[in-house]
Amino acid sequence: MHFERLVIENEETSFTFDLHQQLTVIGPVSQLERDGLINEIVGALGDGRSGVHLELESNAGQRFAVFRPSGAKHRVVDVDAAVDVTAQFSDENGTIDLLSRAGMDARTARGLMRFGPADMVTTRERDRIVQRLARVNQNELWVSAEALRQANRRLDEEAEAMGSAPEDAAAIARIEERHAEFEDQQTHLEAARRRTFILSGFSGLLIIPATLLIGLMAAVPLMVLALASVLWSMIAWRKTEKARGREEEALAEAGAASYLGFHLQRVNGLLSSDQARKRMMKAAEEQRDALQRWKIIAGEVELDWALTHRDDIAAAVKLRQDVVSIGMNKSSEDDGDRMTALAHAVIGRLNELRTLGPGGETFPALLDDPFAGVEEALKPSLLELLVRASEHQQVVLCTEDESILEWARLEAMTGALGMVEPQADHAETEEVAEPVDITAL
């Protein structure tokens, strides 16, 4: 729905606001005045006080007028058909409450429809992740996502065909890696022992002749050589034992006591043939490679999460493109990211208001000077985005920011938005000083 006119009257005077179908800027209004105005707008939809009248148009194009005269029955009129339809909008107590039809009360509606400066700095973790993924190359992101999805599927199929689980492939890979490392260290140890035996024996045989013929000093290099070969052998033995320990840890995780026992039990019956083992290991290797590529691009974001929020990421990408298209100065990447984050906060709230009512009825967004505190350089781009967004969602912007008001006055001349300046309207109302004929609305 969107509002066409709001009338607020009391015993002395009345105020009439004709609202633009897309964007209406009201100002300058202080915080106290903004609070009162937003309360009156929300109250006009609920079981508001007498003296607040509203004309609106539904998404289906039906025009209604809600009359709340003081001291008389409140009613709703179908403007085009000139028919009283109060019964369609009344509850069991006869109270007209458009908010209850959308499952809201006045407090809930105020929290949803009102958008202020605090909402501009409140960014949920989901939004941060979405914006981060929107900054990466989208082709690379979704190609890697599809590759990982396919690799996961192949690994699941191989595991399912053998009555196992994909996690078993990882356990097997660890065991095979640790066993290969252990065998390699054993090979080095055997080579070190052979060299130690040869060097030690050679040195021992030469020590006595060298001492007799040359002297005691001639035996020192030979003894150092023998000692070095022994130390080399000991180091190789230590490395082999460490490799053995890592293999035993991997075997223990798989529930096997030895490498031979592991192959006998095949991790709960897995890998009944060498061919099946190779297929499983190949699928696991492909999955690891795909996962590594995904993490390089997307970080620690889970694939399923990214796929679930793919539409949100696409919307964030579109928003970043809009930021560029409206001439946002890209000299600073930080400014570009801040601009996108602010725009995402505004557009996200507008999107939420499009599906509140029954049958997907939209509700106007009430912006309570949300750009207060935002850098002046960013405001023009945010306002341009707001104009674009208002093509799909009625927006009422209440502000006392003079730079925004100057912008609104110029834009109002083109018809892109409506401008309401209560102080001028109030002066005109006092001059007329005529009561409002509610039945003429």
Q: Is 187 left (phi over 0), alpha (psi -120 to 50) or beta?
A: alpha
The position carrying tokens 């209560």 is 422
At residue 347, what is the residue type? I
> How buried is 424 (Cβ within 10 angstroms: 0-12 exposed, 13-18 middle, 19+ buried)?
exposed
Kindly state the tokens that stand for 374.
């935002």
Question: How high is the pLDDT of residue 441?
Answer: 41
The position carrying tokens 């209440």 is 398
Kindly state the tokens that stand for 28.
């300058």
Question: How high is the pLDDT of residue 297?
Answer: 94
Q: Determine contact, residues 256/267, Cβ cutoff 8 Å.
A: yes
Q: How many CA atoms are closer than 13 Å to the CA of 424, on its beta-carbon side? A: 7
Kindly state the tokens that stand for 281.
């290991």
Three-class DSSP category at 66: strand
How many Å is the maximal CA-CA distance in the chain?
134
The number of residues making up the chain comes to 441
DSSP state of 400: -
Nearest in space to 10 (alpha carbons), one of 68, 56, 97, 65: 68
Question: How high is the pLDDT of residue 413?
Answer: 93
Q: Is 200 left (phi over 0), alpha (psi -120 to 50) or beta?
A: alpha
CA distance 270 to 159: 8
- Tens place of pLDDT per residue across the chain (441 aa): 889 999 888 777 778 889 999 999 999 999 988 988 898 888 888 876 788 889 999 888 889 999 888 888 889 999 998 899 988 888 777 788 888 877 888 888 888 889 888 777 655 667 778 878 988 999 999 999 999 999 988 887 876 666 555 555 556 666 667 777 777 777 876 776 666 666 666 666 666 666 666 666 656 666 666 677 667 777 877 777 777 777 777 666 655 555 545 554 544 444 455 677 677 778 888 888 999 999 999 998 889 889 988 888 887 788 777 766 665 544 455 556 677 777 777 887 787 777 766 666 788 999 999 898 888 888 888 898 889 888 888 999 999 999 999 999 999 999 999 999 876 544 444 443 343 343 444
**Number of other residues whose CB lies within 10 A of the CB of residue 161:** 11
Task: Measure the N-to-C terminal CA separation of the chain; round to a whole number of Å.
Answer: 18
Instruction: Delimit the domains of the chain by residue range.
Output: 2-123+358-440, 163-271
- Is the C-alpha dihedral spanning 282, 287, 292, 294 positive or negative? positive
CA distance 381 to 231: 72
CA distance 295 to 211: 66
Phi, psi of 99 (to 5 degrees): -70, -40
Question: How high is the pLDDT of residue 331?
Answer: 45
Question: How high is the pLDDT of residue 172?
Answer: 62
Exposure string of 192-216, with b = 16+ CB inside 10 Å and e = fewer, is beeebeebbeebeebbeebeeeeee
Helix ranges (H only) for 114-258 are: 117-121, 125-134, 138-161, 166-213, 219-253
CATH of domain 2-123+358-440: 3.40.50
Question: How high is the pLDDT of residue 431?
Answer: 40
